[in-house]
């Protein structure tokens, strides 16, 4: 075979080969001691000086290309074979541990709380994090300039149009989940019982039990004969299901403009009493704001601090750990 003929066929042949024996045979055929290319190269010395100068370098380059193509194919074939070997499963070998992610304790406790209330026939409603001052304050009987507004230090947002400049429409990050009481009652008629889990925001200093962003679970039950006794029963049932029968908690009188009477729920944390919820019987003015007849309907409402419940349940000493992003913390749950 001439040099040109070999060139035309050999690379095509290499492409078709898929086992090491065939490849070795090809190598011997062209590059072996008596191989076709070897003989051509050996014959160069018999050519005239001019022809040798012309064909010599071409033949050497071709030899190099051929050797490289063979080496490359060899690697391909051996890689393929070892891959094939790896595909055989040795079922006697110990299994490989699959690393799984972890739920943040706040997500975990929220899931549990949703289940507890669903089992008590409550519906779960989602709210919005960007609110207006009417729903966050006014409709909840907290008028502008009322000192009670100070209890909810607010992140105000920049109005994006003229409408949002007007009192009542001013945008803010909700400071509590209670505005959803208003939004729900504006849309639906009683009787009903709902919870609203969600994130809230406060412009305040942080410490072991205070964050600027935390979660609350709002609750609202409205009907014709709802009393403080129903409220007490639901709260006790909820806490028992979340913490077990042996729990340390107490109710204390409190004040919120949107309830009458107002109550706080306290639980033991790090051997101290910690407020875990604000609550009470819905104020008649709140019912008036949503066009409910306060002589016909009664209701109770509550707002639990979800982070604080999680701190007590999982014995977490500082609320800021939830948002610290330390995986060693999250992996414990």
d(CA 117, CA 206): 30
Smallest gap from Cβ 213 to ligand YSA, in A, equals: 8
Taking alpha carbons only, the member of 151, 241, 168 closest to residue 203 is 151
User: Residue 74: CB partners within 8 Å, gap ≥ 6?
Assistant: 20, 23
d(CA 86, CA 171): 61
The residue count of the chain comes to 333
Would residue 42 show up in a list of annotated catalytic residues for this protein?
A: no
Cβ count near 256 (within 10 Å): 23
Q: Map residue 249 onto helix, strand or coil.
A: strand
Closest CB to ligand YSA among residues 40, 178: 178
Closest CB to ligand YSA among residues 178, 298: 178
Instruction: Choose the catalytic residue: 259, 276, 279, 286.
Output: 259
Closest CB to ligand YSA among residues 70, 311: 311
Q: Does 275 bind ligand YSA (CB under 6 A)?
A: yes
Peptide bond between residue 191 and the one before it cis (omega within 30 degrees of 0): yes
Q: Does 280 bind ligand YSA (CB under 6 A)?
A: yes
CB closest to ligand YSA, residue no: 305
Window contacting ligand YSA (CB under 6 A); options: 45-53, 108-116, 161-169, 203-211: 203-211
Give 213's strand partners. Answer: 201
Token pair 């939004």 is at which residue?
183
* Beta strands per DSSP E along 102-258: 123-124, 130-132, 171-173, 192-201, 213-223, 249-254
**For ligand YSA, how many residues bind (rule: CB under 6 A)?**
25
Among 27, 135, 170, 176, binds ligand YSA (CB under 6 A): 176
Cβ count near 219 (within 10 Å): 26
Closest CB to ligand YSA among residues 98, 205: 205
- H helical segments located in the chain: 3-16, 20-31, 36-43, 49-87, 105-119, 133-136, 179-187, 228-243, 284-289, 306-313, 327-330
Smallest gap from Cβ 89 to ligand YSA, in A, equals: 51
Would residue 216 show up in a list of annotated catalytic residues for this protein?
A: yes
Closest CB to ligand YSA among residues 108, 149: 149
Q: Does 258 bind ligand YSA (CB under 6 A)?
A: yes
Q: Does 110 bind ligand YSA (CB under 6 A)?
A: no
Both structure tokens of 240: 């028992």
The conformation of residue 191, written as its DSSP 8-state character, comes to: S
Smallest gap from Cβ 224 to ligand YSA, in A, equals: 19
Instruction: Choose the catalytic residue: 135, 176, 283, 308.
Output: 176
Contact (Cβ atoms closer than 8 angstroms) between residue 277 and residue 302: yes
Q: Does 197 bind ligand YSA (CB under 6 A)?
A: no
- Fill in the per-residue mask, 209 to 248: x = in contact with ligand YSA (CB under 6 A), - = not in contact: -xx--x-x--------------------------------
Among 221, 301, 310, 316, binds ligand YSA (CB under 6 A): 301
Catalytic residue numbers?
152, 176, 202, 216, 259, 301
Q: Provide the binding-site residues for ligand YSA, judged by CB under 6 A.
A: 151, 176, 178, 202, 204, 210-211, 214, 216, 256, 258-259, 275-280, 301-303, 305, 307-308, 319
């Amino acid at each position: 075979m001439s040099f040109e003929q070999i060139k035309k066929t050999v690379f095509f042949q290499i492409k078709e080969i898929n086992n090491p024996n065939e490849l070795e045979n090809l190598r011997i055929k062209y590059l072996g001691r008596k191989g076709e290319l070897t003989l051509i190269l050996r014959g160069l010395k018999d050519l005239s000086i001019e022809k040798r100068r012309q064909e010599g370098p071409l033949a050497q380059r071709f030899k190099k290309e051929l050797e490289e193509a063979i080496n490359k194919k060899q690697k391909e074939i051996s890689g393929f074979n070892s891959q094939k070997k790896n595909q055989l499963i040795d079922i006697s070998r110990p299994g490989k541990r699959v690393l799984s992610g972890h739920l943040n304790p706040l997500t975990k406790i929220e899931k549990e709380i949703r289940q507890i209330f669903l089992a008590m026939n409550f519906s779960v409603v989602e709210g919005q994090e960007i609110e207006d001052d009417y729903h966050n304050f006014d409709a909840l009987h907290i008028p502008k300039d009322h000192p009670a507004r100070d209890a909810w230090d607010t992140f105000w947002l920049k109005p994006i149009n003229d409408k949002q400049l007007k009192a009542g429409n001013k945008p803010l990050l909700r400071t509590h989940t209670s505005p959803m009481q208003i939004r729900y009652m504006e849309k639906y008629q009683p009787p009903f019982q709902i919870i609203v889990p969600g994130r809230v925001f406060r412009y305040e200093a942080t410490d072991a039990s205070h964050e600027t962003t935390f979660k609350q679970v709002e609750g609202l039950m409205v009907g014709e004969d709802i009393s403080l006794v129903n409220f007490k029963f639901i709260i006790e049932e909820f806490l028992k299901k979340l913490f077990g029968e042996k729990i340390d908690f107490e109710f204390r009188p409190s004040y919120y403009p949107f309830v009458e009477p107002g109550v706080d729920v306290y639980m033991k944390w790090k051997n101290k009493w910690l407020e875990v919820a604000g609550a009470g019987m819905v104020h008649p003015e709140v019912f008036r704001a949503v066009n409910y007849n306060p002589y016909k309907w009664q209701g109770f409402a509550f707002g639990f601090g979800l982070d604080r419940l999680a701190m007590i349940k999982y014995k977490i000493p500082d609320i800021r750990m939830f948002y610290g992003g330390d995986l060693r913390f999250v992996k414990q749950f």
